[in-house]
Structure 1
């Protein structure tokens, strides 16, 4: 019944092959974890979630203590700034040794995340436990959804 729908099985013309290769590079899994996220290897990794009451940001930053991460909010942009050393606790001779493969990010970093409107920055809180920073950004009271009770007539 639907056999005639497959009649256009002709290959892509050689001139359009560069376009397919370009699309494969842009949308490949090697560079990004998700189409909406930053490239793999960005530090620190983050998870962002939203409820009716607040926005929660989880910053996954192994090797950072609470004083190693500066957190600020300005104009609805959350900024994470800090520095992570290559070999924590090691002396200078260990840091200068040649490395055959390096996957752990070191150095200074800055990440900025756009936040939704209506965040109450004055009530924001941050906690750190085992290299995971939880940032709680409550919404302003007037923007929280309210239930309206239906009464009988």
Structure 2
């Protein structure tokens, strides 16, 4: 039923279609693939959440292990630094072969995330499971919101 749904035929040869796609990618360098994407080269991807007690950062870094990522905090900036190795069989000898599309980033990376004031760096913790790093950054006790009881007058 839906077998005939596809992009409109441009009438171009496969080589011309490949060149058109390459040209679009060339001038879209640094841009996002769609509205939900991060700019190209943003690795690793992150999710950040905040509660009254802490800030949690989830680092989505498939293929990285515990020893592949260096996590530090300096001047309320969380710094993620590391190296992502090439996939087996896709090393330097593969770079001599042309590829039609390459989206996986290999090499060194640094990513910085501004943190809110009042993070207790001494109590920060990080865990790794299946390429997802969870960084727990508790807030300083004196900066946590406190409930004030209302008493009858």
The answer, yes or no, to whether TM exceeds 0.5 is yes
TM-score of the superposed pair, with normalisation by structure 1: 0.71
Give the superposed CA RMSD.
Answer: 2.6
Deviation at 1:147, TM superposition (A): 0.3
CA distance in 2, matches of 1:54, 1:62: 25
Cα distance, 1:40 vs structure 2: 3.7
Residues 103 and 122 from structure 1, CA distance in 2 versus in 1: closer, same or farther, beyond 3 angstroms?
A: same
What residue in structure 2 maps to residue 126 of structure 1?
Answer: 126
Shift of 1:85: 0.9
Give every structure 1 segment of 4 or more consecutive aligned residues whose post-TM-superposition deviation is greater than 3 Å. 32-35, 89-97
Please say which structure displays the higher CA radius of gyration: 1
SS of the counterpart of 1:108? strand
The aligned counterpart of 1:74 is 74
The C-alpha deviation readout for 1:100-146, integer Å capped at 9, x for no partner, is 32110100000011100000000000000000000000000000000
Unaligned runs of 5+ in 2: 1-27
Would you say 1:145 and 2:132 are equivalent positions? no
Residues 71 and 146 of structure 1: CA distance in aligned 2, closer, same or farther (over 3 Å): same
Listed one character per residue, the Cα deviations across residues 38-70 of structure 1 (whole Å, up to 9, x for unaligned) are 514410000111000000000000000010000
Contact 1:86/1:95 (<8 A) preserved: no
What residue in structure 1 maps to residue 12 of structure 2?
none
Distance apart, 1:31 and its partner CA = 2.1
Question: How many residues align structurally?
Answer: 123
Change (3 A) 1:40 1:86: same
- 1:106 paired with 2:106, answer yes
